[in-house]
């Protein structure tokens, strides 16, 4: 295979390309991004690799969650704390119910770019470029020309988001003594409130007891078994995004000495310092394409979206390319077939990976294969279908002698001033109906589970893993 460099992707065919009208302008912005400080550090990235290796050994559960796409306007105190609060609440239910440590990776602090099924769309009878995410162009149909300054803005919005997350987590926000700070007061469903309160009450008793006997259960309940303080303070929390805009990813890729006793002789590694975890999307994972070329050279743990169009042989070839030494913790496969297709594809994929000997974590994304259009024309997802794909995944893994290692979800903890959550997905314990979808449909991308619906999923998953 030819030599990898941070820019070797540029000689390969690229899917989902973005054409900038002014190349010099793009280059000057990229040069600026290239000298800005890393957003995350190699030590944090290596720590996540270790934790994902634990997920592969079935010793921990991975929760990958957040918005489909972040927007610059949504970079606010309320939104960030609501997202982190929901991720913490979700993981607390899993830790408590399933007795497994949870590795938390947010789709946050950089999840701006979006792949599209078509490059253009028709608005008011006119053909315009599609919206490609806030780091490329604007949602406003008059603002669709890609602007390189948006990449720089993405860096600063990511930095502001990450800074606030680090601040929250080092200021006691994640303390298991105060889980109510995570905004449960807004949850209207009496049954979810009761279930969550029984966990937090049980937890409070356990914390009092552990304080009495001098141990620290709070640390056990967060992912602390590997020792040391969490990456972003008291608990570990990692960031991720789809590495779609390779110009930006390249500018954030830096060389650092590799650490660890197993590194002999001393050598260097290239780290993408814009996020701890990067994934390659279902539309950009061509084995000979630019995105896979970029992914094969970075040290970060990576995700690969696996949909129905991926052949078994292609999947193992991909694994050979991105992880030739079969290193643990490096690859997470995020399956997203759709509830009606999972049985047709997952068993073959599991069998192919098992016989290849590649270590992977299998994660179920029950969102992206289950998007439908409502009668009124809104993109939505049905809670029941989401759960069906999730349950099928767990069953099929057991049948194939494998195990589901986690979930990848699109959800939001946002509430409006009156305390109401978004209405983008149907069903759940709140039984959201089609005629309610329009009430608070805020997503400008894919429909997200709201706070209550997300906690419904957490209880179902945690019950499953209890068994
Ligand atoms: C996504 O995760 O938002 C996404 C676009 O997924 P996929 O590449 O699996 O379609
Ligand atoms: Mn999405």
pLDDT, tens digit, 9 for 90 and up, residues 85-115 = 999 989 988 888 888 899 999 999 999 999 9
Q: State pLDDT tens for residues 289-305.
A: 999 999 999 999 999 99
User: Which single residue is written with the structure tokens 């029984």?
Assistant: 198
Give the position, in ligand 1's atom list, of the atom nearest the Cα of 365.
Answer: 9
Average pLDDT over residues 179-189: 61
Ligand 1 site, residue 115, Cβ cutoff 6 A: yes
**Sign of the dihedral through C-alpha 268, 295, 104, 407:** negative
Give the position, in ligand 1's atom list, of the atom nearest the Cα of 408.
Answer: 2
* Distance between CA atoms of residues 135 and 161, nearest Å: 15
Ligand 1 site, residue 305, Cβ cutoff 6 A: yes
Q: Tell me how far the alpha carbon of residue 18 lies from the centroid of ligand 1, in angstroms.
A: 18
Nearest CA to ligand 1 atom 4: 281
Q: Tell me how far the alpha carbon of residue 306 lies from the centroid of ligand 2, in angstroms.
A: 14
Range with the poorest average pLDDT among 204-218, 245-259, 429-443, 448-462: 204-218
* Distance between CA atoms of residues 138 and 166, nearest Å: 29
Q: Is 135 helix (H, G, I), strand (E, B) or coil?
A: coil
Decide: residue 396, CB within 10 A, 0-12 exposed, 13-18 middle, 19+ buried: buried
Give the position, in ligand 1's atom list, of the atom nearest the Cα of 446.
Answer: 3
pLDDT tier at 235, thresholds 50, 70, 90: confident
Average pLDDT over residues 143-159: 98
pLDDT tier at 218, thresholds 50, 70, 90: very low
What does the buried/exposed string (b/e) look like for 441-455 if buried means 16 or more CB atoms within 10 Å of the residue's CB?
bbbbbbbbbbbbbbb
Q: How far is CA 336 from the centre of its chain?
A: 13
Please say whether the beta carbons of 372 and 400 come within 8 A: no
Cis ω before 454 (30° cut-off from 0) = no
Range with the poorest average pLDDT among 78-82, 145-149, 225-229, 263-267: 225-229
Ligand nearest to the CA of residue 114, numbered in listed order: 1
pTM: 0.92
Query: Which of 368, 369, 407, 424 maximizes ligand 1 atoms within 8 Å of its Cβ, making it the mutation to test the pocket?
Result: 368
Please say whether the beta carbons of 207 and 176 come within 8 A: yes
ipTM above 0.90, yes or no: yes
| The CA-based dihedral angle spanning residues 320, 322, 324, 329, taken in that order and rounded to the nearest 10 degrees | -110
pLDDT tier at 23, thresholds 50, 70, 90: very high
Q: Which residues surround ligand 2, an ion (CB under 5 A)?
A: 68, 446
Q: Tell me how far the alpha carbon of residue 68 lies from the centroid of ligand 2, in angstroms.
A: 4
Residues in the chain: 467
Q: Tell me how far the alpha carbon of residue 177 lies from the centroid of ligand 1, in angstroms.
A: 35
Q: How far is CA 151 from the centre of its chain?
A: 20
Range with the poorest average pLDDT among 17-26, 215-224, 393-402: 215-224
pLDDT tier at 221, thresholds 50, 70, 90: very low
pLDDT greater than 60 at residue 283: yes
* Distance between CA atoms of residues 446 and 133, nearest Å: 12
User: Which single residue is written with the structure tokens 């040069």?
Assistant: 31
User: Which single residue is written with the structure tokens 């759940």?
Assistant: 428
pLDDT value of residue 96: 82
* Distance between CA atoms of residues 435 and 172, nearest Å: 40
How high does pLDDT run on average in the chain? 90
Rounded percentage of the chain residues whose pLDDT exceeds 70: 89
Q: Tell me how far the alpha carbon of residue 69 lies from the centroid of ligand 2, in angstroms.
A: 7
pLDDT value of residue 203: 66
Strands 302-306 and 120-123: unpaired
pLDDT, greater one: 430 or 177: 430
The conformation of residue 321, written as its DSSP 8-state character, comes to H
Ligand 1 site, residue 282, Cβ cutoff 6 A: yes
pLDDT, greater one: 399 or 223: 399
Q: How many other C-beta atoms can be found within 10 angstroms of the C-beta atom of residue 198?
A: 11
pLDDT value of residue 97: 81
Range with the poorest average pLDDT among 38-42, 71-75, 438-442: 438-442
Q: Tell me how far the alpha carbon of residue 382 lies from the centroid of ligand 2, in angstroms.
A: 15
Ligand 1 site, residue 336, Cβ cutoff 6 A: yes
pLDDT value of residue 229: 42
- Secondary structure percentages of the chain, helix, strand, coil, to 5: 40, 15, 45
Q: How many other C-beta atoms can be found within 10 angstroms of the C-beta atom of residue 28?
A: 12
Strands 406-410 and 102-107: unpaired
Average pLDDT over residues 38-64: 97
pLDDT value of residue 208: 62
pLDDT value of residue 231: 46
Ligand 1 site, residue 64, Cβ cutoff 6 A: no
Q: Tell me how far the alpha carbon of residue 402 lies from the centroid of ligand 1, in angstroms.
A: 24
Strands 331-335 and 302-306: parallel
Nearest CA to ligand 1 atom 2: 68
């Amino acid at each position: 295979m030819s030599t990898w460099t941070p820019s070797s992707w540029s000689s390969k065919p690229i899917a989902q390309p973005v054409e900038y009208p002014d190349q010099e302008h793009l280059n000057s912005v990229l040069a600026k991004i290239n000298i800005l400080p890393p957003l995350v550090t190699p030590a944090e990235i290596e720590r996540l690799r270790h934790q994902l290796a634990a997920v592969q050994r079935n010793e921990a559960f991975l929760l990958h969650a957040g918005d489909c796409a972040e927007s610059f306007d949504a970079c606010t105190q309320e939104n960030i704390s609501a997202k982190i609060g929901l991720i913490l609440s979700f993981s607390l239910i899993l830790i408590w119910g399933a007795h497994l440590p949870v590795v938390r990776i947010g789709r946050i602090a950089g999840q701006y770019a979006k792949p599209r099924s078509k490059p253009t769309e028709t608005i008011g009878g006119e053909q315009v470029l599609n919206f490609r995410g806030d780091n490329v162009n604007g949602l406003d149909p008059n603002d669709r020309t890609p602007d390189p300054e948006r990449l720089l803005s993405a860096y600063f919005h990511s930095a502001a988001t990450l800074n606030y997350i680090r601040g929250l987590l080092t200021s006691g926000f994640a303390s298991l003594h105060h889980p109510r700070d995570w905004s449960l007061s807004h949850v209207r469903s009496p049954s979810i409130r009761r279930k969550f309160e029984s966990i937090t009450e049980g937890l409070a008793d356990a914390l009092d007891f552990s304080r009495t006997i001098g141990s620290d259960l709070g640390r056990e309940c967060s992912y602390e078994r590997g020792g040391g303080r969490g990456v972003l303070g008291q608990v570990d929390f990692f960031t991720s995004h789809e590495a779609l805009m390779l110009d930006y990813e390249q500018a954030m890729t830096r060389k650092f000495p590799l650490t660890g006793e197993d590194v002999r002789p001393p050598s260097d590694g290239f780290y993408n310092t814009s996020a701890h975890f990067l994934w390659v999307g279902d539309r950009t994972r061509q084995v000979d394409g630019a995105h896979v070329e970029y992914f094969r050279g970075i040290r970060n743990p990576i995700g690969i979206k696996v949909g129905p169009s991926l052949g078994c042989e292609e999947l193992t070839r991909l694994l050979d390319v991105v992880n030739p030494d079969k290193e643990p913790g490096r690859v997470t496969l995020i399956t997203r077939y759709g509830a009606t297709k999972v049985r047709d594809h997952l068993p073959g994929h599991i069998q192919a990976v098992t016989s290849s000997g590649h270590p992977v974590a299998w994660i179920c994304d029950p969102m992206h294969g289950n998007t439908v259009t409502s009668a009124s024309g809104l993109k939505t997802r049905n809670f029941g279908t989401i759960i069906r794909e999730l349950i099928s995944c767990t069953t099929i893994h057991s049948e194939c002698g494998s195990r589901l290692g986690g979930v990848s979800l699109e959800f939001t903890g946002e509430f409006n001033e009156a305390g109401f959550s978004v209405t983008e997905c149907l069903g759940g314990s709140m039984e959201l109906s089609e005629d309610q979808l329009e009430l608070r449909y805020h997503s400008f991308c894919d429909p997200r589970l709201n706070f209550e619906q997300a906690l419904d999923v957490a209880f179902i998953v945690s019950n499953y893993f209890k068994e």
